[in-house]
């Protein structure tokens, strides 16, 4: 029998909110196993940094969003600087969480993933057939980009709800958009709750899809 082995690159990560630079170095030099460990433990478990002084509010958010989107609260989590207290994005590495930060929610739900996939497919057909048109050139550019990016992300097992326009016809996208709007409004009037600039949702079809995508992003 052999003892458990821990990557030397992870031994210094003993805080639930390690510095972005420390995570980046461990991900860069620790290999695939270290990146997957970071994705599973530090980036998807425990109380997010933004809610460390008010974990009850975080749990209330999960229950409230869960009831509106028909998901188990356990399937909802937070990423970005709200998770660690610092951003891991390459263009703003180490930027601390603040009132101008976003609330980046991710949900692990194959059922919701399939609903959003259907919304995307319906929208892409409507857009390509001319049944729906962008309101201006700038929006049209975003739509064309989303039209090509969407299938690639779906094939990887995830989809951002914002990739589809917030129209009545696309039921699940609209439900998420309304829920995120109300979530920010509720947080703004909740005593001791953190403040956010914007709230959004990314849905993964499975935990393995989440770990794989985050691991790739950490390379």
Q: Where are the domains of the chain?
A: 20-110+167-218
User: What pTM, to 2 d.p., does this model score?
Assistant: 0.93
pLDDT (average), residues 88-101: 89
Report the alpha-carbon distance of residue 9 to residue 24 in Å, rounded: 10
The reported pLDDT for the residue numbered 6 is 83
pLDDT at 79 over 90: yes
pLDDT digits (tens, 9 = 90+) for 146-182: 999 999 999 999 999 999 999 999 999 999 999 999 9
- Closest among 169, 163, 177 to 132, alpha carbons compared: 169
CA atoms within 13 A on the CB side of 73: 10
pLDDT reading at 101 higher than 90:
yes
Predicted confidence band of residue 9 (pLDDT cuts 50, 70, 90)? confident
Q: In DSSP terms, which residues pair with 105 in a beta bridge? A: 78, 201
Percent of the chain with pLDDT over 90: 85
> Among the listed ranges 36-40, 92-96, 113-117, which one has the minimum average pLDDT value?
92-96
Beta partners for residue 203, in sequence order: 107, 159
Q: DSSP string covering 22-66, please? A: HHHHHHHHSHHHHHHHIIIIITTSS--GGGTT-HHHHHHHHHHHH
């Amino acid at each position: 029998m052999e003892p458990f082995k821990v990557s030397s690159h992870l031994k210094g990560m003993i805080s639930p909110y390690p510095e972005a630079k420390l995570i980046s170095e461990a991900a860069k030099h620790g290999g695939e196993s270290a990146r997957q460990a970071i994705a599973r433990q530090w980036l998807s478990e425990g109380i997010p940094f933004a809610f460390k002084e008010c974990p009850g509010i975080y749990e209330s958010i999960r229950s409230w969003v869960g009831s509106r989107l028909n998901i188990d609260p356990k399937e909802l989590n937070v990423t970005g600087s709200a998770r660690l207290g610092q951003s891991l994005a390459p263009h703003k590495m180490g930027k601390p969480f603040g009132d101008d930060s976003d609330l980046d929610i991710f949900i692990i739900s194959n059922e919701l993933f399939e609903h959003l996939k259907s919304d995307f497919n319906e929208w892409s057909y409507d857009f390509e057939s001319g049944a729906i048109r962008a309101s201006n050139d700038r929006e049209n550019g975003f739509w064309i980009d989303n039209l090509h990016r969407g299938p690639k992300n779906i094939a990887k097992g995830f989809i951002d709800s914002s990739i589809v326009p917030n129209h009545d016809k696309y039921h699940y996208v609209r439900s998420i958009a309304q829920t995120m709007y109300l979530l920010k409004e509720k947080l703004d009037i909740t005593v001791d709750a953190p403040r956010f600039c914007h709230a959004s949702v990314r849905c993964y079809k499975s935990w393995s899809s989440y770990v794989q995508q985050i691991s790739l992003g950490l390379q």
